[in-house]
Structure 1
Amino acid sequence: MKKIVLACGSGIATSTAVASKVTALLNEHGYEGQFRIVQCSIAEALDVCADADVLVATTVAPKGIACPYVSGVPFLTGVGRGAAEQALLDALAN
């Protein structure tokens, strides 16, 4: 089971919007039922990411993060979304 951490300033607003887009993307690429999404604030991300496969955040990744980081901003704006989607899929393929 892949653990995907979605983080934003509060762990509620933009991470929820990104969660639906990430879920749709992963289901389209055959990951349905093989991942779980954990939402948190960016302040909590360092601890929550200790055993995560990837962090998708709408803010800058905290220093010391142990998993790959993908910017969540393209999932909100659409700008650079293809590259962000590919980075997420690449992180989960490892």
Structure 2
Amino acid sequence: RRLKATGPGPRTGSRAAITASPRIRQDTSTLLTGGRWALFHLLDAGKVQETAVRGRQLVEYDFDGRRVVLEITAGRDFNPVSRELLQNFSCPARAL
């Protein structure tokens, strides 16, 4: 199933989650992140695998032994989920 995602948005209460169904254990069947960068934190919590196709990555999660793999395909020549893009990014403590 395809989902379109954009972000970060202007809302500070943004959340991103993946839930395995049926739930085996309540505390380990859902991965939930929050904040403006919630989607990126959710993707970062998985195991990123590069592919031979430019702009395409796989992100793997494990929910109580159940493997979930998301295919991330960017509509550009680069993948915005790439670790190299965000690896050294930081925001200043406050605006000047």
TM-score by length of 2: 0.26
If each structure's helix is expressed as a fraction of its own residues, which one has the higher value? 1
TM-score by length of 1: 0.26
